[in-house]
Structure 1
Amino acid sequence: MNTSIFDIESLNIDVCESTRINSQNYLDSSSIASSRTSLSSVNLIESIYGAVVDKLISYIIKKHDGGVTFDRVQQLIDKKILQLNQNVNNLIYWLSKNQDKLQYIWFLGIFYYYDFGTEDNNCIKAFELFTKAANNNYSIAQVYLANCYYDGYGIKCDKKMTFHWCEKSANNGSIIGKFYLGYCYEFGIGIMSNEKKSAYWYNEATKSGNTTAKLYLANCYRLGKGVDKDEIKARKYYEILAEQEISDAQLELGNSDCYENGKGVEKDERKAFELYKETVAKGYDWAKFKLAECYQNGKGVEKDEKKAVVLYEEVANDGYIWACNKLGDCYQNGKGVEKDERKAFELYNKTISQEYLNAQFRIAYCYDKGVGIETNKIKAFKLYNIAAEEGHDTAQNYLGYLYMKGEVPEMDSKKAVYWFQRAVENGNKFAYDNLAICYELGIGTNKDETKAFELYEKSAEKGYINAKFHLGYCYVNGIGTKINRKKGFDYWYQKSAADYDNELALYKLGEIYELGKGVNKNEARAFDYYKQAAEKGCIYGKYKVGKYFFSGIIVEINKEKAYNLYKEAAEGGNNDAKKFLALFHK
């Protein structure tokens, strides 16, 4: 009778039970014959289990070499064992009794590693088995041992040992080992980051058919990491992988660096949208998030903010913090849903415990501006500071502004400049403008109009409207550049001031910034315009400058200066100044 190892159901015999039968010792001839029969059965079962285990080992290694990573192996083993109609405990028992081969030592470690019907202390047992096989140069065991050191599984976390064993595995010819060695080089795991070596090892694994390595190599070509930047080659790799239904590749084809923005391929927002849609159908939450962005912004599909909200909610309910953040923005600004600032605050607050920097900033903003919660400048300052220290450029800009205004803590123009500078280093367009104001007016730093002009230019190039307005002012008045009134007019705020020497026009510009009429409120810029108007004899400008010195807005409190300015304004007929003068005389 020819028995296939795939037809195990007809031989549903417990190895342990067969062994117990064999251990009985009878001297009569029938007992001897029975024992021979039992021994024959045991040998048959032993060979069957050996064949099953060999089949499983070959299957898992092949999957690994093809690009399957650690997170998917448990599911694959479960599925394969089910297909073979096997009992996990019987396989573990067989493996524990057959530790004469390196592959069996490693594979028993796999059962402990993924908690297949095993006892306590699985991590230690898995580590010990992987170590035994790895020390005898079994390459796949070396990869698993590297991962134990990376995760601190059964041993203290040691990134240098992670690299050591990945290198050993790769040098022993393991395809998955080559991929992980490239990963170590790319992200500096246990070794100095080396993008060229990273790309080299990704390429080595790719040549052997590893799809994950090919995806990472495509990213290298897209970004120019370790290789000459080649967006066309990157796209070709993504297309090959997308045809194999690799979700990450389909997502990359649709993302901001390919069809969405036309990098390496002709821009096609509709194609990007369709690729996101295909990937969503496979349960890929990041693609669902990107699809929501398409609906929200009308990219590749008709704009539908309500549908975007539905998708954001689905992804947020799955625990993705960036979706909570987007959903919070929708509620805060009434995009696709009824405006609900309290709901927005609650959504932002959900993600703050997960150390998500943008959540730290959003909650800080809510406390700063009283969005969905009572205004609390102290909490706002603390949260801005946390996010700013971690490199969040917008938080850095806001922190600088708090220092500039002196709301919390005390006014410190030097610290304001420091944080504006940090935000500028991170490319924040608003910070360029704020820092330019500091250099132009000498706030917290030495006055440098040339530097101010350069910063205004950079901010304007990044599209900040206020910076264009300020740049126009620089051209008209020759601040940091030669006077060019014609060019200045092109940038000037709504071309509203025909005569820039007009004291009333300067006052009005100050008012625009103080009240935020059509521009972001900016007390520093408002003060400067009022001051210029006052110096030209404008009584309204004198009153405003007096108010700044009286209240300590932007400048230090100086009641004497305030009094003198109020007096001049009052003598010129300003009624508000007269009222404030009465306060001094009481």
Structure 2
Amino acid sequence: MIYRCTNPDCPCVIEQETRPACCPECGRTMAPVEEEALDGQQWVALGSFWAERGESGGARALTCFRRAAALGNVPGISNLGWCMENGVGTEADPRQAVWLYRQAAELGYPPAQCNLGWCLQKGIGGVTDPVQAAQWYEKAAGEGYPRAQLLLSYSFHDGVGVEADPVRSLQWLKAAAFQGDPAGQVELARRFVLGDGVERSEELAFHWYQKAAEQGYPPALYYLGYCYDTGLGVERDAAQMALWYRRAAEAGEIRALRELGLCYELGEGVEQDWGMAAELYRNAAEAGDDAAQCNLAWCYEFGLGVEQDPAQAVAWYRRSADQGNPRALTNLGVCLEKGNGLPADPDGAMDCYRRAAEQNYGRAQCYLGINSYFGLCNCTKDEETALRWFLLAEENGYPEGAYWQGLCRWSGRGAPEDRKAAVECFHRAASAGVSRAGFYLGLAAERGWGAEREPAQAVRWYRWAAEEGDAPSQYNLGWLYARGEGVERDDKTAVEWFRKAADNGDADAMCGLGLFYEQGRGVEQDLTQAAEWYRKGADNGDTDAMCNLGWLYAQGQGVERDLVQAVSWYWKAAQLDHARAQYNLSLCMARGEGVEANQTAALLWLEKAAGQDYPPALCTLGYRYENGDGVDRDYGKAAEYYRKAADLGSATGMCNLAWCCERGLGMERDYAAAAEWYRKAAALGSVQGLNNLGELYRRGLGVAQDYAAALRLYRKAARQNDDTALYNLGECYELGQGVEPDLKKAFSYYRRSAKLGYSGALCALGRFYEEGIQVPSNLSKALQYYQASADQEDAEGMYRLALCYAEGKAVTADRKEAIRLCRSAMASEDLEIQNDQKLREDLQDLLERLEK
């Protein structure tokens, strides 16, 4: 039954089975009316009533508008055209729609004029004519029709059908907005946001969005939420943001469903609820919102608010990607690259990245760069191409691009090495929150690479990245605490950072923990724990950990001694070019420890380690060439290897090079150079350097003779229990060199040195016991000391033992043994080194007497 309002000024007409209690528009009573009694305008009102009910009322709306049009009602003709255009109650017939619009338009009806203009602009009905479209818009706009004013504003803005005219565009737009047209108000707000034809004003933008929102206009409700979300023209307010997004969503604004889902995801303006977030994303996704589809896929990929389902994730990413969403394309590419939710497809992954990159999506451009940088996903490795992608990624707002540019310039890949430029890139990335850049900024400040060396700044950068979970930064920060660089030294805090890095899978940190447990730094010493951490680091590929674990096996510390295991770990690390492991492996092969002795292989591994400028290997290889051990003796090569080690800061290398200078091995004898190298080694705490420099001062070789200086150096070395220095001090006190003669002190120093096994001290003690100096004469003891000294090929020890055999002192006289000892002493390296002319003459005299 049809009911009409009894108020003659109210146009309301409705159709339902029962009489309504009152008019829904003015509140007056409604009266039944027959169809034949309705005029054209009332048929239009009844058609609108049914059109508002959607698809279910379409057919009845079409009938009503036909009846109105048949009565010559212009709005009825126009609305019938609308039904034809949109297929309401019938199959769409754009040509018929245009014909009907034109009939009503030519009768001066503004909505029809506007609709006709729209059809002509968009080519609906088969004819495209933007000029005529603009003319019809202008006719309707001139009659004050807001939608036409808005569309005419667009025409003047874009120069469609008319010459572009920003001023007129703004005039017509304001006409629509000031009439209260919510779409016009939203467009005016947009222009204030962008400063498009007006002076930019966020406050005025908010004002117009609010005006439109007050009318319940769904896009305005959404944009008002956006204003509160971003602080556009109003103070940021998460609660208000969520409120307006909710209102927009309830009004059917799909974007608002997605943004409300994000509010629940982040817990902004509402209590965090992943389940609600996923539900809202699903509602928007099923309505076709590509961004929501991507968000829902993310939930499925990581099990956020829904049960984790990689296949579902891929399905939703694909639906979003099919709409061209660059984020979905990129995420789908990652799934294809990793084989997550579907079989791995590197080529498919690259295609997705390229399609997203073509939309200037920075993350996809960065991924293309990474794959070019490493040669992944069937890409040809091309570092220059990678750098170009990284540049584009940053230009398009993806700060990781700046980080990767920094890596390229840091290591000279894709561009010349330029660490200063790299640091600038890392600063840009860090300022945008890329915590990984903090690692390189810390490294630059720690080492002075591309920036001033500032340990305190290094601590700051490492700490920032470390607190964001960057394992290498946690590890390096630990070492700054361990060394007290840029921060007060604190081994306990160092261990804490090592542990965090190790928990994040950093193999270096696992090794660091092993080292601190081994040394008892920051934790109670625990060699078992040390071995466990070294094993973890080794299992994760850390070569230092492999080598250190090998060492523990070799020493039986924290594990049962097992030389085979030691060699096994050295071998693993050596194969990965770890110099110390190669050196240790060479020693094991040379000695036959844990492996069958193999001098050829030992030399090969020693040369590999030396080739990496590992100082102990350089010194050992030099020693081999000096002594002809497994190689042809070559003093020149020996000196060369020693010099390399010395230049690398090795105190042993410095002492050995000084020895070559002193003895003229592989070079002209140069005592001054020897003194200088011994001095450098002594400055590094080398007892050999201290002692040998002292010896040069005592003998006045390469330096002015200075017994006092010699004594100072001997004492420094002796404090470290150096056997040679203790012996030399004994000599000084016996001979009164730089001190008053004191045979008691001399005897004491000789005895301390002899207990350490020094051959010269053993001989000296033998002499004291033979001659009864400071002790009762005891030839048997003297003989024992001479024998111990001679066993070490000490020239004087062999001489004095030869005298005992020649004269039968405490031993049965044996001329042949005495002759053998004399000859051995005269041929000994010790005699040559000591260059003791008196001892040489005494040996010659004794030998001549024995041979007569």
Q: Does 1:309 align with 2:341?
A: no
Give the letter aligned to residue 106 of structure 1.
L
Q: Aligned to 1:546, what secondary structure does the other structure show?
A: coil
Q: Distance in 2 between matches of 1:483 and 1:130?
A: 79
Q: Distance in 2 between matches of 1:517 and 1:229?
A: 50
Q: Distance in 2 between matches of 1:44 and 1:374?
A: 70
Residues 421 and 190 of structure 1: CA distance in aligned 2, closer, same or farther (over 3 Å): farther
Partner of 1:195: 238
Asked whether the 8 Å contact 2:362–2:397 carries over to 1, the reply is no
* Deviates most, 311-320 or 195-204: 311-320
Q: Aligned to 1:161, what secondary structure does the other structure show?
A: helix
Q: Distance in 1 between matches of 2:184 and 2:290?
A: 28
Q: Distance in 2 between matches of 1:201 and 1:236?
A: 18
1:294-305 correspondence runs (5 A): 294-305=335-346
Q: Does 1:270 align with 2:272?
A: no
Q: Distance in 2 between matches of 1:149 and 1:273?
A: 40
State which of 114, 119, 122 in structure 2 corresponds to 1:53.
114
Asked whether the 8 Å contact 1:332–1:344 carries over to 2, the reply is yes
What are the superposed Cα offsets for residues 185-218 of structure 1, whole Å, 9 maximum, x if unpaired?
A: 1112122221111111111111111111111111
Give the letter aligned to residue 285 of structure 1.
P
State which of 439, 453, 456 in structure 1 corresponds to 2:495.
453
Q: Does 1:281 align with 2:322?
A: yes
Partner of 1:555: none
Q: Aligned to 1:240, what secondary structure does the other structure show?
A: helix
| Cα shift at 1:220 | 1.3
Q: Distance in 1 between matches of 2:309 and 2:240?
A: 34
State which of 407, 410, 413 in structure 2 corresponds to 1:368.
410
What are the superposed Cα offsets for residues 278-309 of structure 1, whole Å, 9 maximum, x if unpaired?
A: 33333333322222111211111222323323
Partner of 2:185: 142
Q: Distance in 2 between matches of 1:545 and 1:411?
A: 21
Asked whether the 8 Å contact 1:8–1:85 carries over to 2, the reply is no
Query: TM-score, with normalisation over the residues of structure 2?
Result: 0.51
Q: Distance in 1 between matches of 2:362 and 2:182?
A: 38
1:490-529 correspondence runs (5 A): 490-492=532-534, 493-494=537-538, 496=546, 497=548, 517=578
1:91-102 correspondence runs (5 A): 91-97=133-139, 98-102=142-146
Q: Distance in 1 between matches of 2:395 and 2:375?
A: 25
Partner of 1:173: 216
RMSD: 4.2
Q: Distance in 2 between matches of 1:268 and 1:11?
A: 48
Asked whether the 8 Å contact 2:189–2:206 carries over to 1, the reply is yes
Q: Distance in 2 between matches of 1:113 and 1:517?
A: 69
Asked whether the 8 Å contact 1:294–1:301 carries over to 2, the reply is yes
| Cα shift at 1:327 | 1.3
Asked whether the 8 Å contact 1:351–1:359 carries over to 2, the reply is yes
Q: Distance in 1 between matches of 2:153 and 2:493?
A: 63
Residues 84 and 486 of structure 1: CA distance in aligned 2, closer, same or farther (over 3 Å): farther
Work out the percentage of aligned pairs sharing the same amino acid: 25
Q: Distance in 2 between matches of 1:393 and 1:338?
A: 29
| Cα shift at 1:571 | 5.3
Q: Distance in 2 between matches of 1:144 and 1:85?
A: 28
Residues 247 and 234 of structure 1: CA distance in aligned 2, closer, same or farther (over 3 Å): same
Q: Distance in 2 between matches of 1:189 and 1:381?
A: 34
Q: Does 1:564 align with 2:608?
A: no
Q: Does 1:321 align with 2:367?
A: no
Unaligned runs of 5+ in 2: 1-68, 71-76, 85-92, 539-544, 558-568, 580-613, 615-641, 654-676, 692-701, 704-852
Q: Aligned to 1:411, what secondary structure does the other structure show?
A: coil
* Deviates most, 88-97 or 400-409: 88-97
* Deviates most, 564-573 or 485-494: 564-573
Residues 516 and 479 of structure 1: CA distance in aligned 2, closer, same or farther (over 3 Å): farther
Partner of 1:19: none
What are the superposed Cα offsets for residues 251-293 of structure 1, whole Å, 9 maximum, x if unpaired?
A: 11212xx111111111111221122223333333332222211
Residues 266 and 166 of structure 1: CA distance in aligned 2, closer, same or farther (over 3 Å): same
Partner of 2:708: none
Asked whether the 8 Å contact 1:341–1:372 carries over to 2, the reply is yes
What are the superposed Cα offsets for residues 90-136 of structure 1, whole Å, 9 maximum, x if unpaired?
A: 343233342424444334323334543232333x3333333344344
Q: Distance in 2 between matches of 1:489 and 1:112?
A: 78
Asked whether the 8 Å contact 1:125–1:154 carries over to 2, the reply is no
Residues 459 and 128 of structure 1: CA distance in aligned 2, closer, same or farther (over 3 Å): farther
Q: Aligned to 1:267, what secondary structure does the other structure show?
A: coil
State which of 361, 379, 385 in structure 1 corresponds to 2:427.
385
Q: Distance in 1 between matches of 2:448 and 2:473?
A: 17
Residues 270 and 447 of structure 1: CA distance in aligned 2, closer, same or farther (over 3 Å): same
Q: Distance in 2 between matches of 1:121 and 1:311?
A: 41
What are the superposed Cα offsets for residues 469-503 of structure 1, whole Å, 9 maximum, x if unpaired?
A: 33444455454455555555443332643577999
Asked whether the 8 Å contact 1:364–1:379 carries over to 2, the reply is yes
Partner of 1:219: 262
Q: Does 1:292 align with 2:333?
A: yes
Q: Does 1:409 align with 2:451?
A: yes
* Deviates most, 289-298 or 100-109: 100-109
Residues 142 and 361 of structure 1: CA distance in aligned 2, closer, same or farther (over 3 Å): same
State which of 369, 381, 387 in structure 2 corresponds to 1:345.
387
* Deviates most, 129-138 or 414-423: 129-138
Asked whether the 8 Å contact 2:117–2:137 carries over to 1, the reply is no
1:425-440 correspondence runs (5 A): 425-440=467-482
Give the letter aligned to residue 546 of structure 1.
G
Give the letter aligned to residue 408 of structure 2.
C
Residues 241 and 568 of structure 1: CA distance in aligned 2, closer, same or farther (over 3 Å): same
Q: Does 1:209 align with 2:252?
A: yes
Residues 121 and 470 of structure 1: CA distance in aligned 2, closer, same or farther (over 3 Å): farther
Residues 367 and 561 of structure 1: CA distance in aligned 2, closer, same or farther (over 3 Å): farther
State which of 89, 104, 110 in structure 1 corresponds to 2:154.
110
Q: Aligned to 2:200, what secondary structure does the other structure show?
A: coil
Give the letter aligned to residue 568 of structure 1.
S
Give the letter aligned to residue 206 of structure 1.
A
Q: Does 1:398 align with 2:440?
A: yes
Give the letter aligned to residue 138 of structure 2.
S
Higher relative contact order (CA 8 A, sep 6+): 1
Give the letter aligned to residue 53 of structure 1.
C
Give the letter aligned to residue 100 of structure 1.
G
Partner of 1:18: none
Q: Distance in 2 between matches of 1:43 and 1:265?
A: 54
Q: Distance in 2 between matches of 1:462 and 1:56?
A: 64
Unaligned runs of 5+ in 1: 16-40, 58-75, 519-529, 531-539, 551-558, 574-583
Give the letter aligned to residue 274 of structure 1.
A
Q: Distance in 2 between matches of 1:469 and 1:77?
A: 75
Query: TM-score, with normalisation over the residues of structure 1?
Result: 0.73
Residues 126 and 396 of structure 1: CA distance in aligned 2, closer, same or farther (over 3 Å): farther
Give the letter aligned to residue 439 of structure 1.
Y
Name the count of aligned residue pairs: 494
Residues 11 and 188 of structure 1: CA distance in aligned 2, closer, same or farther (over 3 Å): closer
* Deviates most, 276-285 or 287-296: 276-285
What are the superposed Cα offsets for residues 140-162 of structure 1, whole Å, 9 maximum, x if unpaired?
A: 32221211111111112222222
What are the superposed Cα offsets for residues 491-540 of structure 1, whole Å, 9 maximum, x if unpaired?
A: 333264357799999xx99xx9xx9959xxxxxxxxxxx9xxxxxxxxx9
Give the letter aligned to residue 200 of structure 1.
L
